[in-house]
Chain A
Amino acid sequence: MGVRTESHKTEWLTTLPSLAWLTLFFAVPALIVLAFTFHGHTPNGGVGEWSLATWKELVDPDYPTIVWKTLRISFQVTVWCILLALPCAYAIARMGTRWRGVVAGAIMLPFWTSFVVRVFAWKTVMHPDGWLQAVYHGWLHAKLALFSWIPGVSVPVLADPPPGNCLLGFAHCAIDTARTTIIDSEIAVVLVSVYTFLPFAIMPIYTAAEKFDFSLLEAARDLGAKNFHAFRKIFVPGIWQGIVSAVLMVFIPAVGSYVIPQMLGGTNCVLIGNKIFMRAMQQRNIPHASALATLMAAAVLVPLGLAAWWTRRAAARDRRKLELRTAQLMSTGGQR
């Protein structure tokens, strides 16, 4: 603008600081990670010669299990987050402007307490003698009692906490009271993950819902649609871009989750993130850690690519605007 002759120079001067920084500390490191996967490792924790050994070692039966478990837990967390976020976002968007800001701020407020401290708080109540444990056992017993009365459903009684065999994760069907603790279980990981990522699901959906024209719902009901029907057929499609953003904002960090499974999942819930940390920091096997990180990047980039492919250009631009607005909302604690 304005001084046309200097435009090109000005552009470079303005772009260079961030461009150089991110190239140096984001792009180059990513390439180094990729390069390291094609190296062997040396016993003393160094990086060895060029080889394909690392990739061959990834066939280790451990890894597919861990990848699958990571994806499954991330999926459970995402589904729970979206299911809870939808009614919340709807409720906030329907409030008066004054209340909206207050409630949106209230949702972001817990973030002003350290994340690690909050996880510790959860850990404290998940103490094997604690009340959450009691609630958990009560739930398991109720479930066992319920299922054993339904003909045709056999409830296997296992001594070990079984792998999450139900899609939504809360359906453990076997109890060994002495050994089934809520701490160090998958449930603990899912619960606290939902707790952690829920605001990231609510905010983008709320941002989209805020722009939604609620008279459409009235019109739908006027034409005879039932409440839930109108919600599902009109509201949900209307805020679709917000939901896509929310899914990405929950699923991606869930895949990369490392602190929560480490602190609450114990040995029962080792995910890719934990494996990467173990390989890199404890076993000093840099090439292995790099290969796992590459796998994780793929797990993240595939859904992202899908989302980009599904939504057309115009919709993508809408979503980008939405994301910007979300960033704005989250950074200001819901106040405008």
Chain B
Amino acid sequence: MKRSFFSVVVLGLVLAFLYAPIVLVFVYACVPNGSSMSFFRTDGSFIGFSAKWYQMIFRGDYALKDLMQSLWLSLKVAGLATLASCVLGTTAALALHRWKGRLQSIHHALVYLPLVMPDILIGISLLMLFVALGVECGFWTILLAHVTFCVSYVVMTILARLQDFDDRIVEAAYDLGAGPWYSFFHVELPLLMPGIIAGGLLAFTLSIDDVVITSFVNGAGTNTFPTYVSSMVKHSKNLPAVFALSTIMLVFTCALVGLSKLVVRGQPQKPKEAKGTKGK
């Protein structure tokens, strides 16, 4: 059966729809006038593209100080949240995979529910917790909230990996004399690594992108990149700088991911240096 023409057309349109704002981000990063967000003068004549927003970023312009600070905070939070949620997520996924008792059904419910709860509910309930405990909101509350909502995603990604996992491999390790720790670090962890990396990547993306939960628990004056951007007044004249920054970030991410793909692809085929086995 041949591909349906209709479905391919819809797919094309959807892709265009999904990429339109990205293209807009690229384009508006070059807008000459930050307050009218227009490439045209009032008389309708074309002004041209401008690189001044990129220059501002690379110059470290003082007007962008808060923006850059918020980006730095986002990176810090996302990095730490990724690390913490990977550790918690790995142990959780292993437990959920290995045991099937009553404890694990409670555990599973606790892992699953944050996935289906809207972000705003997680945000507000954490806010309530901090209110009830009288905790001052700031960096640590943001980090804590991010770990909380990232853990479940990491667990799901690793569990998906564990589904294809052959339990006999762990038995084989025990059988050949390895203890639980040796087996975990030399057999299970390397096997789970792709899952953990994928989960970590997802956690990082979610954390650096989160605006809803953060806006509940950030406290006054502490802004991550998304909350800072969303709080920018309607036509902040620095908006194109945000677009330019996003463009740089996207290019950087793509390059990074592309590079990692290349490295991963090159790995398994590459024979290791034979170490003294060809002796005879």
A–B interface present (Cβ within 8 A): yes
Q: A interface vs B, CB < 8 Å?
A: 1-3, 6, 10-12, 14-15, 17-19, 21-23, 25-30, 32-33, 36, 47, 84, 87-88, 90-92, 94-95, 103, 106-107, 109-122, 124-125, 127, 129, 195, 198-199, 202, 214, 217-218, 221, 227, 231, 248, 252-253, 255-259, 262-263, 273, 276-277, 280-281, 286, 289-290, 293, 296-297, 300, 304, 321, 323-325, 327-328, 330-333, 335
Contact partner of A324 (CB less than 8 A), chosen from B21, B28, B125, B163, is B163
Asked whether B259 is an interface residue with its Cβ less than 8 Å from the other chain, the reply is no
Q: Which A-chain residue is minimally distant from B25 (CB atoms)?
A: A121
Interface centre among A23, A84, A129, A331 (most CB of B within 10 A): A331
Contact partner of B161 (CB less than 8 A), chosen from A218, A231, A286, A328, is A328
Contact present for A29 and B128 (CB under 8 Å): yes
Contact present for B11 and A304 (CB under 8 Å): no
Contact present for B110 and A27 (CB under 8 Å): yes
Contact present for B21 and A15 (CB under 8 Å): no
Contact present for B201 and A112 (CB under 8 Å): no
Q: In whole angstroms, how far apart are the Cα atoms of A15 and B246 in the complex?
A: 39
Asked whether B189 is an interface residue with its Cβ less than 8 Å from the other chain, the reply is no
Q: In whole angstroms, how far apart are the Cα atoms of A36 and B125 in the complex?
A: 10
Contact present for A1 and B211 (CB under 8 Å): no
Q: In whole angstroms, how far apart are the Cα atoms of A47 and B129 in the complex?
A: 13
Contact present for A300 and B117 (CB under 8 Å): yes
Which 7 A-B pairs give the minimum distances between C-beta atoms? A256-B118, A18-B92, A29-B125, A324-B160, A331-B202, A87-B7, A91-B7
Contact present for A1 and B167 (CB under 8 Å): yes
Q: Given A21-B148, A113-B22, does the pair A1, B254 have CB atoms closer than 8 Å?
A: no
Provide 7 A-B residue pairs closer than 8 Å at the C-beta atoms, listed in order of the A residue.
A23-B110, A117-B246, A120-B239, A122-B24, A231-B4, A253-B118, A273-B118
Contact present for B122 and A112 (CB under 8 Å): no
Q: Given A117-B243, A256-B119, A273-B118, does the pair A15, B110 have CB atoms closer than 8 Å?
A: no
Q: In whole angstroms, how far apart are the Cα atoms of A276 and B242 in the complex?
A: 28
Asked whether B32 is an interface residue with its Cβ less than 8 Å from the other chain, the reply is no
Q: Which B-chain residue is minimally distant from A107 (CB atoms)?
A: B18
Asked whether B46 is an interface residue with its Cβ less than 8 Å from the other chain, the reply is no
Q: In whole angstroms, how far apart are the Cα atoms of A259 and B155 in the complex?
A: 27
User: How many residues on B have C-beta within 8 angstroms of the other chain's C-beta atoms?
Assistant: 98
Q: Which A-chain residue is minimally distant from B173 (CB atoms)?
A: A2
Asked whether B104 is an interface residue with its Cβ less than 8 Å from the other chain, the reply is yes
Contact partner of B129 (CB less than 8 A), chosen from A10, A19, A32, A321, is A32
Q: In whole angstroms, how far apart are the Cα atoms of A263 and B229 in the complex?
A: 11
Minimal beta-carbon separation of A18 from chain B (angstroms): 3
Contact present for A214 and B1 (CB under 8 Å): yes
Interface centre among A23, A30, A195 (most CB of B within 10 A): A30
Minimal beta-carbon separation of A263 from chain B (angstroms): 7
Contact present for A88 and B246 (CB under 8 Å): no
How many A-B residue contacts, CB cutoff 8 Å? 276
Contact present for B7 and A286 (CB under 8 Å): no
Asked whether B94 is an interface residue with its Cβ less than 8 Å from the other chain, the reply is yes
Q: Kindly list chain A residues whose C-beta atoms are within 8 Å of the C-beta of B205.
A: 111-112
Q: Which A-chain residue is minimally distant from B257 (CB atoms)?
A: A333
Q: In whole angstroms, how far apart are the Cα atoms of A32 and B134 in the complex?
A: 13
Which of chain B's residues 103-160 have a Cβ closer than 8 Å to chain A?
A: 103-104, 106-107, 110-111, 113-114, 116-122, 124-129, 131-132, 144-145, 147-148, 151-153, 155-157, 159-160
Contact present for B118 and A17 (CB under 8 Å): no
Q: In whole angstroms, how far apart are the Cα atoms of A253 and B95 in the complex?
A: 28
Contact partner of B14 (CB less than 8 A), chosen from A32, A198, A259, A277, is A198
Which of chain B's residues 68-125 have a Cβ closer than 8 Å to chain A?
A: 87-89, 91-92, 94-95, 98-99, 101, 103-104, 106-107, 110-111, 113-114, 116-122, 124-125
Contact present for A195 and B157 (CB under 8 Å): no
Q: Which A-chain residue is minimally distant from B209 (CB atoms)?
A: A115
Contact present for A113 and B153 (CB under 8 Å): no
Q: Kindly list chain A residues whose C-beta atoms are within 8 Å of the C-beta of B280.
A: none
Which of chain B's residues 229-280 have a Cβ closer than 8 Å to chain A?
A: 229-230, 239, 242-243, 246, 249-250, 253-254, 257, 261
